[in-house]
Amino acid sequence: MTKQTPGDARSTDDVLELVLITGMSGSGKSVALNALEDVGYYCVDNLPPGLMTALVEWQRAGAGRLLAIAIDARSAAALPEVPAQLDRLRTQGVRVSCLFLDASTPTLVRRFSETRRRHPLSETSHVGLDGHPQRALNEALELERGLLAALRDQAHVVDTSVLRPTQLQSYVKALFPVQSPRMTLVFESFAFKRGLPNDADFVFDVRMLPNPHYEPDLRELTGRDEPVAAFLRQQPDVGKMLGQVRGFLEDWLGAMEGNHRSYVTVAIGCTGGQHRSVYLVEQLALHFAPHWATLRRHRELDAQPTGG
């Protein structure tokens, strides 16, 4: 695929694009911001919310029309102001998108342990063994979740628990194509045995469908392989499920876009996240791609290490 420059994509559109990135400490906000910088966004990390309007006006006065801002819990006192600020910017013609990066608490604890960084909300009135005021990491994370709850509610949520940095970069670049302001569909396969995706708007359970895992010749393949696809195409219940999910989305996507939804994540789950859910995600993405901006993710397959 040819890399597209923001200038080419916005040559006839002077609307300012603002992407607000927020989320949990350790969830990958810096990675996401760097990804947007790579494709031409002017990026500002840890911006005090009180400066957001001034920065937007400064950006409008210049030549750039792509702006990305990262705001996190370090601006705790000013966070309640942010939703109203975003609403005002929308009324002023700014095209605003919000991305919230999340991860499970055990994942965040492990990442902080690996980097030996101190959580920004670890300071408190309690004195630790080293003589400095501090709170436990789990306590800091729970406090952070509460502070960011209002922003999470109005953002597109991406769970980075099992994403490598390069995968997150690719996903963020695909989420914010500079050409299309239309709603984006995200189809995601997953394994129920590893839990529900945190970023799903709709979850469909397909564990009742015939399972290629029990076919010796298909067990080591995936739903992207033709032998598995051929097996599933022969199953009437698979076709019935695919048609019903497709029909539900066709009935409601227009209404969701009319309600100013920027992204809709449809998660399809089976037992292992390798055969049935992967096949259905591939088929749904293929069906909707001609009409909507469409992304596909395979949580379990993407998390598997690649061979050298």
- Binding residue positions: 23-30, 72-75
Q: What is the three-class DSSP state of 297?
A: strand
196 and 104 in contact (C-beta within 8 Å)? Answer: no
Annotated binding site for ATP: 23-30
Residue 158: in which H helix or E strand, if any?
strand 156-159
> Which residue, among 100, 164, 108, 104, has the nearest Cα to 301 in the 3D structure?
164
Residue 260: how many CB atoms within 10 A of its CB?
8
> Which residue, among 273, 171, 288, 180, has the nearest Cα to 222 in the 3D structure?
273
Rounded to a whole number of angstroms, the distance between the first and last alpha carbons of the chain is 24
Annotated binding site for GTP: 72-75
Length of the chain as a residue count: 308
Cα 211 to Cα 219: distance, rounded to the nearest angstrom = 9
Cα 183 to Cα 265: distance, rounded to the nearest angstrom = 11
CA 152 to chain centre: 11
- Name every residue whose Cβ is closer than 8 Å to that of residue 208 and which is 6 or more positions away in sequence: 237
What b-and-e string marks burial along 206-215, b requiring 16 or more CB atoms within 10 Å of the CB?
beebbbbbee
| DSSP secondary structure letter of residue 103 | -
What b-and-e string marks burial along 15-41, b requiring 16 or more CB atoms within 10 Å of the CB?
ebbbbbbbbbbbbbbbbbbbbbeebbb
